[in-house]
Amino acid sequence: MKINQLKYSWTFWFDKPDLKISEENWDQFLIKIECCDTVEKFWSVFNNILLPSEFEPGVNLHFFKSKIEPKWEDVYNIKGGKWIITIPKQVDLFINKLWENTLVTLISGNYDDLTMENVNGIVLSVRKNIIKLSIWTKNYYNKSIQLRIGKFWKKTIKDNFFINNMTLDYFPHVSLMSN
């Protein structure tokens, strides 16, 4: 059987912080699910994780390069930021497909090398009435690379889902930290 190696090794993480969350204790809820370095392994893990629409509010799923922990404090994230899309929960099918499409586009070599080098991971955040999907990037101060990543993501959404008016926002992580 042919094994299809991925260019990067990726790891799925899960967390569902309780209500008393703070920046100090946030990462105690992070659980590493599984690492995937082949296409086959990716699908075996992906197919055994619930769909975004099936998770209860509060859950976050993270899909990061295996050398990077999905937190602001990681050395690869500390100067980074995120592109984020917010979607109302009513459009379940779209969210499920967008989650899959965003992951598959990333691992399957559709992004150019420079872009791949600057993408750290993807985060799915399930909340009460909305779901947020973000691409975490490495260097928020490199504007041209951020734009390249954001424009490419927007184009894949347009090409795959025929949506022209998707709004993406960008936030440096430092703007979300309390101090």
Sites for ligand MGP among residues 123-142 (CB under 6 A): 125, 127
Q: Which of 12, 42, 55, 72 lies at the binding interface for ligand MGP (CB under 6 A)?
A: 72
SS3 label, residue 15: strand
Rounded to a whole number of angstroms, the minimum distance from the CB of residue 23 to ligand MGP is: 4
Sites for ligand MGP among residues 88-127 (CB under 6 A): 125, 127
* DSSP one-letter string for 83-136: EEEEEETT-HHHHHHHHHHHHHHHHTT-S-HHHHHHEEEEEEEE-SSEEEEEEE
Number of residues that bind ligand MGP (CB under 6 A): 10
Supply 153's token pair.
């993501």
Indicate whether 64 belongs to the interface with ligand MGP (CB under 6 A).
no
Nearer to ligand MGP, 41 or 71 (CB): 71
Q: Which of 8, 14, 26, 46 lies at the binding interface for ligand MGP (CB under 6 A)?
A: 26
Q: Give the Cβ contact number of residue 2 at 10 Å.
A: 5
CA separation for the pair 80, 123 (Å, rounded): 14
Indicate whether 71 belongs to the interface with ligand MGP (CB under 6 A).
yes
Yes or no: say if 158 and 166 are a contact pair by the CB < 8 Å rule: yes
Indicate whether 21 belongs to the interface with ligand MGP (CB under 6 A).
yes
Indicate whether 175 belongs to the interface with ligand MGP (CB under 6 A).
no
User: Taking Cα atoms as reference points, which of 98, 79, 80 lies closest to residue 88?
Assistant: 98
Q: Which of 1, 18, 20, 22 lies at the binding interface for ligand MGP (CB under 6 A)?
A: 22
By CB under 6 A, name the binding residues for ligand MGP.
Answer: 21-23, 26, 60, 71-73, 125, 127
